[in-house]
Amino acid sequence: MIKLNCEDVRREISNYIDNDISPVNRKLLEAHLEQCQYCAVLLDSVHNVLVLIADERRFELPAGFGTRLRQRLNEEFADFKSKRP
Amino acid sequence: MNSQGDPEILEQERRLIAEILAGDPERFYELIAPIEKRVYFTAYEILQSSTEAEDVAQEAILKAFRGLATFRGDSKFSTWLFRITVNEARMRLRKNKEVSLELLVADDGETVYTPIQLADWREIPLETVVRKDLADHLENAIASLPLSYREVLILRDIDGINIVQTADILGITVANVKVRLLRARLMLRDYFVSENLIRASTTVGAKRK
> Taking residues A37-64, what's their average pLDDT?
93
- Please answer whether residues B32 and B81 qualify as being in contact, where contact means their C-beta atoms are separated by less than 8 angstroms: yes
Least confident of B96-100, B134-138, B168-172, B194-198: B96-100
Mean pLDDT of chain A: 93
Of residues A15 and B75, more confidence is placed in A15
> Taking residues B50-59, what's their average pLDDT?
96
CATH architecture of the domain covering B7-104: Orthogonal Bundle (1.10)
Please calculate the CA angle B52-B56-B57 and round it to the nearest 5 degrees.
115
Report phi then psi at B143, rounded to 5: -65, -25
Sign of the torsion angle spanned by Cα atoms B72, B74, B78, B79: negative
- Short-list B198, B13, B183, B32, CA closest to B109: B183
How many contacts, defined by CB atoms under 8 Å, are there between A and B?
125
pLDDT value for B206: 42
Q: Give the span between the Cα atoms of B53 and B78, in whole angstroms.
A: 18
pLDDT value for B9: 86
Residue of A nearest to B33 (CA): A66
Which residues of chain B lie closer than 8 angstroms to A54, CB-CB?
157-158, 160
Q: What is the DSSP letter of B154?
A: I
pLDDT value for B129: 80
Q: What is the CATH number of domain B126-194?
A: 1.10.10.10
Residue type, B175: A
Report phi then psi at B75, rounded to 5: -130, 175
Confidence class for position B2, pLDDT limits 50, 70, 90: very low
Span B22-41, pLDDT tens digits: 999 999 999 999 999 999 99
- B37 and A61 within 8 Å at the Cβ level: the answer is yes
Q: What is the DSSP letter of A57?
A: G
Confidence class for position B202, pLDDT limits 50, 70, 90: low
Does the CB of A82 have a partner CB in chain B at under 8 Å? no
- Short-list B4, B11, B170, CA closest to B75: B4
Q: Above 90 in pLDDT, residue A31?
A: yes
Q: How large is the ipTM? A: 0.92
> Taking residues B67-74, what's their average pLDDT?
90
Touching A: B residues 80-99, CB under 8 Å: none
- A57 and B37 within 8 Å at the Cβ level: the answer is no
Which residues of chain B lie closer than 8 angstroms to A50, CB-CB?
157, 185, 188
- Short-list B118, B127, B91, B131, CA closest to B201: B118
- Short-list B124, B117, B114, CA closest to A38: B117
- A77 and B62 within 8 Å at the Cβ level: the answer is no
- Short-list B135, B132, B194, CA closest to A53: B135
Q: Give the span between the Cα atoms of B175 and B194, in whole angstroms.
A: 28
Nearest to A49 among B23, B163, B192 (CB): B192
pTM for the model stands at 0.88
pLDDT value for B103: 55
Q: Where are the domains of chain B?
A: 7-104, 126-194
CB atoms within 10 A of CB B79: 20
Of residues B177 and B107, more confidence is placed in B177
Q: Give the span between the Cα atoms of B55 and B91, in whole angstroms.
A: 12
> Max alpha carbon distance in chain B (Å)?
68
- B119 and A7 within 8 Å at the Cβ level: the answer is no
Nearest to B142 among A18, A53, A73 (CB): A53
pLDDT value for B95: 84
Does the CB of B121 have a partner CB in chain A at under 8 Å? yes
Q: Give the span between the Cα atoms of A59 and A50, in whole angstroms.
A: 15
pLDDT value for B209: 36
Confidence class for position B3, pLDDT limits 50, 70, 90: very low
- Please answer whether residues B79 and B156 qualify as being in contact, where contact means their C-beta atoms are separated by less than 8 angstroms: no
Does the CB of B71 have a partner CB in chain A at under 8 Å? no
Mean pLDDT of chain B: 87
Q: Residue B99 forms beta bridges with which residues?
A: none
Does the CB of B122 have a partner CB in chain A at under 8 Å? no
Span A18-28, pLDDT tens digits: 999 999 999 99
Residue type, B60: A
Distance set, CA B44 to CA A63, B39, B54, B59, B200 (Å): 15, 9, 8, 13, 31
- A41 and B40 within 8 Å at the Cβ level: the answer is no
Which residues of chain A lie closer than 8 angstroms to B112, CB-CB?
7, 10-11
